[in-house]
Structure 1
Amino acid sequence: MNIDGGVVVGVDTSAASLRALKAAAEEAECRGAPLHVVRAWSIRTAPRPADCPPNAVPSIDAFQQEVERETAKLVAAKLGENPKVKIEIHAVHSPSPQALLAASRGADLLVVGHRGRGGFAGLMLGSVAEQCVRHASCPVLVVRPSL
């Protein structure tokens, strides 16, 4: 993954990451910068390729392509078919914190979601957001749920 400037956002299928995607797109538009959508995945979290027979194990390349397709669909559903910013999708076979921290090395801003659990627990960051805040090479925006 080669990122040279712009806004990076980590996405999965959670509501928190979709809020982060929207906020990141707004930031990218304000800055006139590209939006880099990073989807970290593992065999356990990747969608199964639809064209793979039931008793077969898909290849890593097949999983990679399916993650890229699903992520593109997710982005289009949230930002529309003609977003106001240039979007690059990066599907990375890696744990989320490592993928996002690597992307932060070339980014102007890293945006991550926070699930929020209410009360005292809601004051604490999740493990991915916390690692990004502590170790990212650029500023980090943590998008919290609306009240």
Structure 2
Amino acid sequence: MREARGIEQEGRTVRGRVVAGTCGSLGSLTALHRARAEARARDAELWVVLAWQPPLGEPGGRGRGGGTPLLAASRAAAVSRLREVLATAFGEGTPGVALAGLAVRGTPGAALLDTVRDADDLLVVGTGSRGPLLRALRPSVARYCLAHAPCPVLAVPPSPLQADLDAVRRRIVWRRPLDSADLAR
């Protein structure tokens, strides 16, 4: 991967990489757009990483079989999801920077840190909105990356619209009436 440094692309020299993690959530799309802006400002490549793990953990490890076909199907699903995320984020056009999409097998934090190679790289992660229950069930990828990354990490908070969307969803779940004045802010 180091040979990709300093390559000529469309008449300019591309230096460094901006690595961004994504899962397709609104928070990760916000981080992805920020990563694109950072890649443009730095004349860097944008590497978008989607981490995946096979269902049921490691195939064959629990006596369930499945092996290679299950792994191939899981990887194909991850690659398809990554393509959907990139199409959602950037549309059918180009993002305006050199782009590489990677579907990496592993946990999100480890997959991102495996992709980052140099201290020159920039790692961009979304912080997401995390309530106490979610914090207890799933560790924070952003926190893991901030603690272990060998390069600078940019932690992007969720869009302010995300909080409004979450509030509307909670009202719908709890069957509380929506106040149109709250939506018009």
Q: Under a length normalisation based on structure 2, what TM-score does the superposition of the two structures give? A: 0.63
Match of 1:53 in 2: none
In the alignment, which of 5, 10, 14 is matched to residue 21 of structure 2?
10
TM-fit CA distance, 1:63: 2.2
Size of the aligned set, in residue pairs, is 132
TM-fit CA distance, 1:116: 2.2
RCO greater where, 1 or 2, for CA within 8 Å and sep 6 or more? 1
- SS at 2:145 equivalent: helix
Match of 1:76 in 2: 87
Per-residue CA deviations over 1:19-71 (Å, capped at 9, x if unaligned) read 111110111111111100011001239xxxxxxxxxx9843123212311221
Match of 2:32 in 1: 21
In the alignment, which of 138, 141, 154 is matched to residue 128 of structure 1?
141
Contact 1:105 1:136 in 2 (8 A): no
- 1:63 partner letter: S
Larger helix fraction of residues: 2
Q: C-alpha distance in 1, partners of 2:20/2:41?
A: 15
Name which one, 1 or 2, has greater alpha-carbon Rg: 2
Q: Under a length normalisation based on structure 1, what TM-score does the superposition of the two structures give? A: 0.77
Instruction: Give the percent of matched residue pairs that are identical in Structure 1 and Structure 2.
Output: 41
In the alignment, which of 78, 87, 110 is matched to residue 67 of structure 1?
78
- SS at 2:51 equivalent: strand
Match of 1:139 in 2: 152
- 2:22 partner letter: V
In the alignment, which of 87, 90, 103 is matched to residue 115 of structure 2?
103
TM-fit CA distance, 1:7: 0.2
Q: What is the RMSD of the two structures over their aligned residues, measured on CA atoms?
A: 2.6
- 2:159 partner letter: S
Contact 1:132 1:140 in 2 (8 A): yes
TM-fit CA distance, 1:130: 0.5
